[in-house]
Amino acid sequence: MRLSLAGRTPVTDLPKAKAVMLELQSGNLTARIHPEIGGIIAALEWRGPDERRHRLLRSPDGLVPSTTAPNKMGSWTMVPFANRAFGGIVDDGRERFLVPDNNPSGAGNIHGFGWQSAWAILGQTARHTVLEHRRSDGPDPYRYRIIQEIRLDEAGMTVSLTLTNEAYRALPYGFGQHPWFPCAGDTRLEMRAEGALILGEGYRATGSQPLEGGGPYAGKPVFAHGRETAWSFLGWDGTARIETPSTGLAITLTASESLRCPVVWAPAGADFLCVEPQSHAIGSPSEPAARKVAPLRRLEPGETMTGWLRIAPEAI
């Protein structure tokens, strides 16, 4: 099938929205959210038993979120697919089409459209907000509505996602969240998975492999090791724990059954690590090897997929 994307307009050319910042609070937890900047949860902070303020998500002083490049801070939604569509190609084996390029560091689409869109506020209380992103036009066939519900309680933050296909035909969809967690020299990551993609150049999958004993983080190793880390896990059990003894903080991430293909990534020497719960593997929109083991989900018109993740702090 011939691919076309007439008038391929960059999705970075967005209308300016009135700046709004929401603040949620419950007990010792505070979240700051920018609906007009990709619905990003720009900060999540917790006051521990020792009265110290801990940043549960990376939020460097002076760093302002934007829609020009993927934000290396906070947590934000990836939709209508997570991670990469190489060459801007979406191909689920039944149909093949192009989506606009939006990757500032190379060709193709990175993380979909949600992080570059203004989200509408559907409701808000002191502890809870409901945001909506709707795509009703564009050069590709994606037409959808996604609801992001962010709720604080005294023990943590829960983000729930509800994605509905509003196109006139069935289309392949996926989604996820992209949290950026602080990482120090003594930070340890604990999580278990049954397998992983084999990644070649540029994170393109060449196959998949089983992992013995739960994979590289089953034994809670120190995360930083002086080189880039890049994993696209399969068969994750849904729990990851990040411990940093030097700050006295542990963070537990849990996710729904629909978000069990997490990406774990950090460049060499970074002060952060990413554990990204998502519904499919890196490159599943475009790469046969990824699609074979963790494909997008084909939604009929009006059909919905849901998922959630939770971030909870603990003093250690």
Strand residue runs (E) in 12-143: 22-26, 29-34, 40-47, 53-55, 77-78, 84-85, 89-91, 96-98, 109-110, 120-124, 128-135
Q: How many whole angstroms separate alpha carbon 62 and alpha carbon 58? A: 12
Q: What does the pLDDT read at residue 18?
A: 56
* DSSP code at position 38: T
Strand partners of residue 176: 78, 278
CB atoms within 10 A of CB 241: 18
Q: How many whole angstroms separate alpha carbon 241 and alpha carbon 87? A: 34
Q: Tell me if the pTM is above 0.75.
A: yes
Q: Which residues contact 26 (CB under 8 A, 6 or more apart)?
A: 126, 127, 152, 153, 154
Cα end-to-end distance, the chain, whole Å? 56
Q: Is the peptide bond before 80 cis (omega within 30 degrees of 0)?
A: yes
Residues of the chain with pLDDT under 50: 1-17
CB atoms within 10 A of CB 171: 26
- The residues spanned by each domain of the chain are 22-315
Q: List the CATH code of the domain at 22-315.
A: 2.70.98.10
Q: How many whole angstroms separate alpha carbon 188 and alpha carbon 271? A: 13
Burial of 35 (0-12, 13-18, 19+ CB in 10 A): buried
Strand partners of residue 182: 272
Q: What does the pLDDT read at residue 37?
A: 97
Residue ranges of the alpha helices (H) in the chain? Answer: 288-293
Q: How many whole angstroms separate alpha carbon 244 and alpha carbon 253? A: 14
CB atoms within 10 A of CB 164: 18
Task: Scan for tokens 């979406």, then name that residue.
Answer: 90
Q: Which residues contact 30 (CB under 8 A, 6 or more apart)?
A: 23, 24, 43, 44, 45, 46
Tens digit of pLDDT for each residue in 215-237?
999 999 999 888 999 999 999 99
Is residue 158 within 8 A of residue 198, CB to CB? The reply is: no
Quick one: CA torsion of 81, 83, 89, 90, rounded to 10 degrees? -30
CB atoms within 10 A of CB 41: 28
DSSP structure string for 183-202: --TT-EEEEEEEEEEEE-GG
Q: What does the pLDDT read at residue 285?
A: 97
Is residue 260 within 8 A of residue 236, CB to CB? The reply is: yes
